[in-house]
Structure 1
Amino acid sequence: MSRSGAVTFKGNPMTLAGEAVAVGQDAPDFTLHYFEGGLQTLTLADLKGKPSLLSIVPSLDTGVCAIQTKKFNEQLASMGDSVNAVTVSLDLPFAMNRFCGAEEITNMRVGSDYFDRNFGNSWGTLMEELKILCRGCFVLDSTGKVVHAEYVPEVTNEPDYEAALAALKSAS
């Protein structure tokens, strides 16, 4: 299944692969990769037990994606380790690691969907035309139920930070 015209990128309609993830449903499973002393995996099971923010970006090496990641990182500082926060993109794990080091991102983890795009397909965030993820934010409660879901309608715009953070705080 795909959703034609679900978002736009620079005004051009994009088709998102998969079904939209909605508030109230169990979060779809996924396997992401990150680099920490070697390639590691991150799954939905790794996030359970704490509320989680999933910040979805097309690429950390673009302006809006960098802003989104830095803003969430800054806002999450006051929440400490009571929550999980992950930036998800198709960037390679090594590039994500480099970005986080250079930008002092310490309150978020990164997860790359480069390997098989299982996140993009199961969470409905893969733009079929561009083969990259759209912009979005999801918040899960500690059991893995979706309590906030946002697919940013125009991918070059920033997400609703306040709504995502409010959902994360109420899930805590």
Structure 2
Amino acid sequence: MTPEEWLSSFEAKVAEVAQKAAEFKVNLEAAGATEASPDGSLRVTVAPNGALTDLSISDAALRGSGGELAAQIMQLARKAQRAAAVHVAEAFAPLAGEDSESLRMVTGFIPPEEEEEPEPAGRTGYAFTAAPDESEPPAARPAEPPSRPHRPRSTARDDDDEEFGDDQIFGKRDDW
């Protein structure tokens, strides 16, 4: 291969990598994900890195308990984060190569799919928890951790460094 052919081949490879990098950038910017509840009352959007960027809660979502609402939001957030991770891997594949170690590394961080939990039938209104039964004693508090053992006091005399002399390394104390 002549130097001109090598240079031409090299420039073509550089142009191809530059094109793939530009496509990756565009695809990465669009790799976020949005997930919504089946009834559309909740919507969660995450960035390509999984960071929460938007949360929409309609009044209809407020009909259950706070715990149920939090669980639904977290489930949607996890689904959206997984979808964003899949989109990032899909955007990265053409740049890295379908069978590359770097692509396997990126896809190794994709969380597994969660199983869908069925929506409870006939759920309407607010859920209240019963007041605790006052006749039962409160749960026993855990025992306090043991305190650290005390170090025995030294029996050495206060002037145990006599062998080093009374010279001060920064001058006499009277000079301070």
**TM score, norm. by length of structure 2:** 0.20
**Greater strand fraction, Structure 1 or Structure 2:** 1
Question: Greater relative contact order: 1 or 2 (C-alpha under 8 angstroms, separation 6 or more)?
Answer: 1
The structure with the largest alpha-carbon Rg is 2
Write 1 or 2 for the structure with the bigger share of helix: 2
The TM-score, its normalising length taken from structure 1, stands at: 0.20
